[in-house]
């Protein structure tokens, strides 16, 4: 995960936990080939464990110029996605619920 985004995610997790939302990280960095496979699975109708169609160019698959993982997206399940999204917005973190096709539990660095 990108270090600047990791700090923001740590803050988000602390707020989610202190709000009783029981956050669980379900996905962070994804190798680009894994990202493509997730999208292909969705398109085949195999959607087990997927809440939305994976993007072609995903912030989950970001790397540094050296090729090391630097994801600027994370997926987190909670007991209340709407409350969790409101907390993330208040912290300046992007929320997948705001997408045209909502992606529940997806959070991302807005400046990415």
- What is the set of domains in the chain, with CATH numbers? 3-109 (3.30.1380.10)
pLDDT in 10s for each residue of the chain, 112 residues:
998 999 999 999 999 999 999 999 999 999 999 999 999 999 999 999 888 889 888 999 999 989 889 999 999 999 999 999 999 999 999 999 999 999 999 999 987 4
Q: Within a 10 A sphere around the Cβ of 107, how many other Cβ atoms?
A: 27
Q: Within a 10 A sphere around the Cβ of 26, how many other Cβ atoms?
A: 13
For residues 100 and 56, what is the distance between their CA atoms, to the nearest angstrom? Answer: 16
């Amino acid at each position: 995960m990108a270090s600047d985004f990791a700090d923001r995610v740590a803050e988000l997790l602390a707020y989610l936990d202190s709000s009783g939302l029981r956050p669980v990280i379900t996905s962070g960095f994804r190798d680009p080939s894994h990202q493509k496979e997730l999208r292909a699975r969705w398109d085949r109708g195999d959607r087990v464990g997927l809440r939305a169609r994976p993007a072609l160019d995903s912030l989950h698959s970001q790397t540094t110029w050296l090729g090391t993982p630097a994801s600027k997206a994370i997926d987190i399940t909670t007991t209340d996605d709407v409350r969790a999204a409101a907390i993330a917005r208040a912290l300046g973190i992007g929320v997948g619920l705001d997408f045209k096709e909502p992606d529940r539990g997806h959070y991302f660095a807005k400046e990415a």
